[in-house]
Structure 1
């Protein structure tokens, strides 16, 4: 999701790597799990972890926990907020996350963010997002609690820049019907078609990216030849 903001207004002015220490913390108030609208966008790894651990399908998640929304002109799933206080469907009565062990990447990251450049990214601390965070220094990679951070970071980069390339092609065509078709291609290839628990997610993901890039190349060539 693109954010057009001045980093000086939202960060502490520093960038971090996985091995750096950052002031972050959580007192369990549940504030970051309420009123988030459609901002908790889910990537393929998020859905894989949720469906694998909950023993359900993506379609089942869409019944009450997840919804579809438009992000930068394409359709993606996001966590659904419910009720008068607009709370995440996985937030229980004690303000605890029922899927904390396999929570989405954005939830793991908060209150950190990512700034992308040169086909990579760095972390930064969002200084206004969490009002109740105890200022405890913690190593970034410990805060993220990713079992294989290098692979996860490589996946994040691949997914981000893959989508940027697709959006750039679509912006050149300015074809709403084509944009809808590409959105459905992405939903089918990375969300509706399940990744299997007995396969390496990252390897399977890379194969699907390569397949989708071939399809997009054909779409682009055929479109230019019209």
Structure 2
């Protein structure tokens, strides 16, 4: 999701690399679940998020649509997001005790918070959102460690590949004047990257193959190939 904001207004004015210390550690969020409530449709899910939810919960994409996720249009593309529910509009995975019930396999959006990503060409750096987290006593932690993902390098490459692909698709959607054709391709993308299960092997390898095939079908090469 593209955000048209001034970085100086929402951050501490610094950009961080993966090995930089940033004051993001919310100390296990004890006693607070504010960021799990009232988020609307903003917690977007990428293919890895859906894959992990499906595997750990033992549910298909269609079953997750029944009670955990929903679809909406973002920058011309249909994408899934976590569902908010109830009077407090809280995440469906938030327990009665105010704790995340899927913490070990929570989505990348949740792992990143209160950090954000600032993309620069074929790379990105992190920034600290200063108005989003209510915790005032956050500790410093290295950015890569805060994300708490296995194989950080592989994950970073995945994020860049998916971001670049989405940017190209958004440009294609802006140029497309055939709404029926655009909707059909959107549904095809949901099937290719979300609904069709990934194998038990290397997720990143299979994901890369799906992206390459989709680019071939659409006739859009990678930016470095142009």
TM-score past 0.5 threshold: yes
Can you list the C-alpha shifts for 1:61-105, whole angstroms capped at 9, x where unaligned?
Answer: 111111111111110110000000001010001111111000000
Within 1, Cα distance between the matches of 2:182 and 2:9? 33
Aligned to 1:217: 219
Counterpart among 196, 202, 208 of residue 206 in structure 1: 208
1:17 to partner: Cα distance: 1.2
> What secondary structure does 2:118 align onto?
strand
Q: Deviations over 1:175-212 (max 9, x none)?
A: 3222212211110100111112x210000000100111
Deviation of 1:47 (Å): 0.5
Structure 1 162/94 Cα, relative in aligned 2: closer, same or farther at 3 Å?
Answer: same
Aligned length, in residue pairs: 217
Q: Distance in 2 between matches of 1:146 and 1:80?
A: 23
Residue 66 of structure 2 aligns to a residue whose secondary structure is: coil
Normalised by the length of structure 1, the TM-score is: 0.93
DSSP-derived class of the 1:123 partner: strand
CA distance in 1, matches of 2:68, 2:38: 14
Aligned pairs for 1:68-83 (under 5 A) are 68-83=71-86
Q: CA deviation at 1:53?
A: 1.0
Residue 185 of structure 2 is aligned with which of 157, 168, 182?
A: 182
Q: 2:36 aligns with which of 33, 36, 54?
A: 33
Equivalent residue number for residue 221 of structure 1: none
Aligned with residue 132 of structure 2, among 98, 120, 129:
129
Cα distance change on mapping 1:133 and 1:185 into 2, 3 Å: farther
Where does structure 1 lack aligned partners over 5 or more consecutive residues?
Answer: 219-226
4+ runs deviating over 4 angstroms: none
Following superposition, the deviation at residue 133 of structure 1 comes to: 4.3
Work out which of the residue numbers 68, 83, 91 in structure 2 matches 1:88: 91
Structure 2 unaligned blocks of 5 or more: 221-226
Contact residue 62 and residue 195 of structure 2 kept, 8 A? yes
CA RMSD after TM alignment: 1.2
Query: What is the distance in 2 between the residues matched to 1:202 and 1:133?
Result: 36
Spell out the pairing of 1:127-166 with structure 2 (5 A cutoff). 127-166=130-169
Cα offset for 1:125?
0.3
Instruction: Give the distance between the partners of 1:81 and 1:186, measured in 2 at CA.
Output: 24
